[in-house]
Amino acid sequence: MYEPSNLYHVLKDAASSRAGLSVYPPGDTETPSELAYHDLFVSAKHKARLLHGFTAAADRPIVLLHFDNHLETIEWLWATIVAGFLPAISTPFVNDLGQRKKHLLHLNSTLHDPLMLTTARLKPEFLGIQQLRLHSIEEIQNEYNFRNAVYRPFDYSTKAAEHETLFQGTYAKPADLAVLMLTSGSTGYAKAVCLSHGQMIKAVKGKSKYHGTSSEKVFLNWIGMDHVANLTEIHLHAMLLGANQIHVHAADLLVQPSKFVSLLGKHQVAHTFAPNFFLAALRKSLETPAGSKLCEGADLSNLRAVISGGEANVVETCDAVTKLLNYYGVEWNVIRPGFGMTETCAGSIYGTSCPSYELERDLEFGSVGSCIPGIHMRIVADDGTVAAQGEVGHLQVHGSIVFERYYNNPEATASAFTHDGWFITGDQGYLDETGSLNLSGRAKESIIINGVQIYPHQIESALEDAYLPGVVPSFFACFPHRPSGSQTERFCLVYCPTYAKHCITTRVETNDAIARISAMICGSRPYQIIPLEESQLPKSALGKLSRTKIRTAFEAGAYQGILQEHLSAIQAHKSSMRQNRILTETEKVVLSTFLDLLELDSADIGVDSNMLEAGITSIDLLKMQKVLQTKFAIAEIPLITLLTNPTIEGMSTAIDKSRGAASGKFADYTPVVPLGTKGSKTPLWLVHPGVGEVLVFLNLAKFITDRPVYALRAKGFEQGEDFFDNIPDVVETYRKHIRETQPQGPYAIAGYSFGAMLAFEISKLLEAQGETVSFLGSFNLPPHIKTRMNQLDWIEVALNIGCFLDLYSEDYQHCISHDMHEKQDQEVLSYIMEKAPPNRLAELSLTRTKLERWISLAHAMQNAATNYDPSGSVANIDIFYCTPLASVSKSRSQWLEEYLSKWKDFSRGEPRFHEVDGAHYTMLDPDNVHSFQKTLKSVLVERGL
């Protein structure tokens, strides 16, 4: 079977087809320039003649191409190839002029004094460096310069002689170098990757075979030609097939992501590329009326593959985007997460069943699947042995499409390969039971905090998902840093702010939100949070920020002035917001306790700072309760006192009152616990589960920064409070306090387990009063609960609370349930206290008396529902479901089909079901709350809130 031997013949063969390129100029997504492959071939030969006026083909010089648009890059790239020269495609320059100069001098040395080709308009970007052999295309197109070139003239007397002399690209052998591609320089100075003719052709043919592409397919690209995601993934791929290809500029899609869908439909595109950050932006755009309107009538039925790489693909994003694109005729699993590097000619390992494959396996990030022809992979453990299935190790690749060396850099080449010739990618991952590759991060980018390994992309992803109003999307970068004298590694975060420099309030709120969310992900606040202008955060062609370069600049002190100004502004603002008075002795104790607990600086917290918004966890809160009780010699500071008085000042005042009170009068019961008070969107109300407590919501509330979050806590935890003994009383009490706090709708209410029933009844009352409940959420509860409530005697409730508090596992609870029912209540209580880990009891500050009261409260609450039958209906309901209790259902599918689906009988709108991570007791745990909050936020958006 015929196969072109070099890139010259790839273009020549394509020139015989009727296909070509449609290239949109910068700033224009309406009228492209049309360029047939035939015309490109003619243009390349003409420009090859001009190039020979500046340098001799016999020298095989390197030509560094530096352009800022697709058309000029493509035309001069092919002119260089046809001429028989070696093109090196320049990456965009950084704005830091000092770094740019170092970069240019490094390239000049590495590439052996190359001819640097650009436009007259872009020449100033080269800073007038005298050592550079720099020319503009206007100069070489000038007839005078061409005829009076300083290099040897050529005899153009015959076409044959001209062909032999000027078009030496036709003679290139498969092993000859075709292109030098510059790495992004994320690990230091850019390296020049040597890609041969044969390697690139084999890579493209492997991609085509793997993805089933053909000449009838249309390709669309919006990445710069300096990246292999364009050059091999799209441009050469389409050309080798003789297929049409569309090019549009990244900037024009990034400002209007929905235009991507419009162009896919306009050109009936089958094959394209979009990294995760763009998919996230596309999703956000399509979920807006303006974005979806731009795509009206778009037909994407021809779309077969959206290749995605360059960073980890978030499964939830892939799932959401797929569903949105499905509206325009796209089939399922169109997104294909891939692994690829410049060194492997872009994508070389792909997943073809996303998001189905990942959703079935409950993966957070997309599997990148299996290898295309021409490459093999292996996972190697730290000791050099091949890793077992499922074992995380170092990804290495080998094969005919893998590069062999870096140009003029033998040291980097030697360190890039193992002794047996496998390329060390620098990525970590594992092979699952199907042999599919799952990546887990870059080996050099993991952060070890107190012995726990964290990957930067996990923190960055969580911050992106938070949609913080003060941050430009996709401009987070997290990197490790070990401060002088520190016993453990820390991490720093940079972001690009949207707020004006003088907008101090937004600056402070953004800083606090980043700190809080980061702490939720890895249990530690950032060492430094640094706002940088977009010009200081240059991206690669794939939209990636170089963590290594940013870290190097930080550690060199490049951001010191910015950081100092930032910290001073925050400190000044917080100082100005505090009352100008001397702290009371109680406030001093409470403040120092809080600062010690969260390892914060006194400058970060004032007497009016809200502790619940500063990153405190439920365990921290219980620890604080215990410490304060000891310091103030108080038998008990009710937890509700801390929850409802979350500032240093408020808590201190409440403690002083309790210490001075001698009348025995107790505070009035209030169910409302403000977990977050910032944000302007519709407040979210969270109703407690059957155990009555709201600490379970603290993890979730930290991720919600755009709206107030209130929780409803049961009556009976504190002295002087009776238990609720009937459901109508509970519902009316909660409704009354909701209306007092939020007088008007729309309302957003959700309940966890038992709380979902209460939320349903509250919503009915609100609707009966003429109010709108735009969102009602059930966290894993079906409508019919009477049977389950009648199973919950005092002992079963006790066992449930023990499991809920993580005193033992659900499996252990299931095993001991029968034996416990043979015992008396007090015997069961003794058993639980004896079996519970002492450190866990200490963390919870849980005594036998507290546990007994808690059990009795929960039993009374659930006993009130033993005759409960749902009735009536609400406008709509969203059900968030996870693995059910083993005693209730055998599987998620049974739980959904036989129990949760019954909500359709009590909702006037079609119920929506959302599968989430974890099990009944763990769905809001730290391990699962990140994915849960993403689902919850997207649902709130869908409901118009």
pLDDT digits (tens, 9 = 90+) for 559-594: 999 999 999 998 888 777 665 667 888 888 888 888
What local confidence, expressed as pLDDT, does residue 201 receive?
Answer: 98
What local confidence, expressed as pLDDT, does residue 2 receive?
Answer: 76
> What does DSSP assign to residue 233?
I
- Measured CA to CA, the distance from residue 792 to residue 774 in angstroms comes to 32
Mean pLDDT value of segment 360-374: 93
pLDDT digits (tens, 9 = 90+) for 332-341: 999 999 999 9
Q: How far apart are the first and last CA of the chain?
A: 59
DSSP letters along 607-634, please? Answer: TT-BGGGTT--HHHHHHHHHHHHHHTT-
Measured CA angle at 189 (ends 188, 191), to 5 deg: 115
What local confidence, expressed as pLDDT, does residue 803 receive?
Answer: 83
| 666 band by pLDDT with thresholds 50, 70 and 90 | low
Assess whether pLDDT exceeds 90 at residue 186.
no
The answer for residues whose C-beta is within 8 angstroms of residue 606's C-beta and 6 or more apart is 574, 575, 577, 578, 648
Mean pLDDT value of segment 268-297: 90
- Measured CA to CA, the distance from residue 63 to residue 53 in angstroms comes to 13
- Measured CA to CA, the distance from residue 73 to residue 77 in angstroms comes to 6
Ranges 93-107, 227-241, 268-282, most confident: 227-241
Q: Looking at the chain, how many residues does it have?
A: 945
What local confidence, expressed as pLDDT, does residue 160 receive?
Answer: 47
> What does DSSP assign to residue 445?
T
pLDDT digits (tens, 9 = 90+) for 756-771: 999 999 999 999 999 9
Judge contact between 174 and 5, C-beta under 8 A: yes
Assess whether pLDDT exceeds 80 at residue 155.
no
Assess whether pLDDT exceeds 70 at residue 939.
yes
DSSP letters along 549-585, please? Answer: HHHHHHHTTTTHHHHHHHHHHHHHHHHHHS-SSPPPH
Mean pLDDT value of segment 327-347: 95
What local confidence, expressed as pLDDT, does residue 528 receive?
Answer: 92
DSSP run (H or E) holding 371: strand 370-371
Ranges 390-404, 796-810, 837-851, most confident: 390-404
- Three-class DSSP category at 710: strand
Measured CA angle at 696 (ends 695, 700), to 5 deg: 110
Assess whether pLDDT exceeds 80 at residue 443.
no
What local confidence, expressed as pLDDT, does residue 53 receive?
Answer: 72
What local confidence, expressed as pLDDT, does residue 448 receive?
Answer: 61
- Measured CA to CA, the distance from residue 710 to residue 352 in angstroms comes to 42
Mean pLDDT value of segment 849-862: 89
DSSP strand pairing (773-779 vs 219-221): unpaired
The answer to whether residue 753 is catalytic is yes
| 394 band by pLDDT with thresholds 50, 70 and 90 | very high
Percentage of residues in the chain having pLDDT higher than 90:
53
What is the Cβ-side half-sphere exposure of residue 449, based on CA atoms within 13 angstroms? 20
Assess whether pLDDT exceeds 60 at residue 185.
no
What local confidence, expressed as pLDDT, does residue 311 receive?
Answer: 77
Mean pLDDT value of segment 169-187: 86
The answer for residues whose C-beta is within 8 angstroms of residue 286's C-beta and 6 or more apart is 257, 258, 261, 292, 295, 321, 324
Mean pLDDT value of segment 507-524: 81
Assess whether pLDDT exceeds 60 at residue 285.
yes
Assess whether pLDDT exceeds 90 at residue 731.
yes
What local confidence, expressed as pLDDT, does residue 911 receive?
Answer: 95
Mean pLDDT value of segment 341-349: 96
The Cα-based distances of 183 to 190, 406, 609 in angstroms read: 5, 10, 46
What local confidence, expressed as pLDDT, does residue 634 receive?
Answer: 80
Where is average pLDDT lowest: 163-177, 227-241, 328-342, 680-694?
163-177
Mean pLDDT value of segment 152-163: 45
Mean pLDDT value of segment 915-919: 91
753, 763, 873, 889: which one is catalytic? Answer: 753
pLDDT digits (tens, 9 = 90+) for 118-138: 999 999 889 889 999 999 999
What local confidence, expressed as pLDDT, does residue 92 receive?
Answer: 86
- Measured CA to CA, the distance from residue 738 to residue 686 in angstroms comes to 11
pLDDT digits (tens, 9 = 90+) for 782-835: 999 998 888 888 998 899 888 888 788 777 887 888 889 989 999 999 999 988
pLDDT digits (tens, 9 = 90+) for 465-503: 888 889 998 899 999 887 775 555 689 999 999 999 889
What local confidence, expressed as pLDDT, does residue 577 receive?
Answer: 66
What local confidence, expressed as pLDDT, does residue 580 receive?
Answer: 60
What local confidence, expressed as pLDDT, does residue 154 receive?
Answer: 41
Assess whether pLDDT exceeds 80 at residue 143.
no
What local confidence, expressed as pLDDT, does residue 452 receive?
Answer: 54
Tell which residue, 337, 348, 356, 449, has the closest CA to residue 395. 348
Assess whether pLDDT exceeds 80 at residue 613.
no
What local confidence, expressed as pLDDT, does residue 150 receive?
Answer: 43
What local confidence, expressed as pLDDT, does residue 585 receive?
Answer: 87
Q: What is the pTM of this model?
A: 0.62
Residue predicted with more confidence, 581 or 774? 774
pLDDT digits (tens, 9 = 90+) for 877-895: 999 999 998 888 888 999 9
The rounded mean pLDDT for the chain is: 87
Measured CA angle at 281 (ends 503, 880), to 5 deg: 100
Q: Amino acid identity, residue 50? A: L
**Helix 560-577, helix 504-522: angle, nearest 10:** 100
| 164 band by pLDDT with thresholds 50, 70 and 90 | low
What local confidence, expressed as pLDDT, does residue 538 receive?
Answer: 85
Assess whether pLDDT exceeds 60 at residue 363.
yes
Where is average pLDDT lowest: 15-24, 54-63, 725-734, 772-781?
54-63
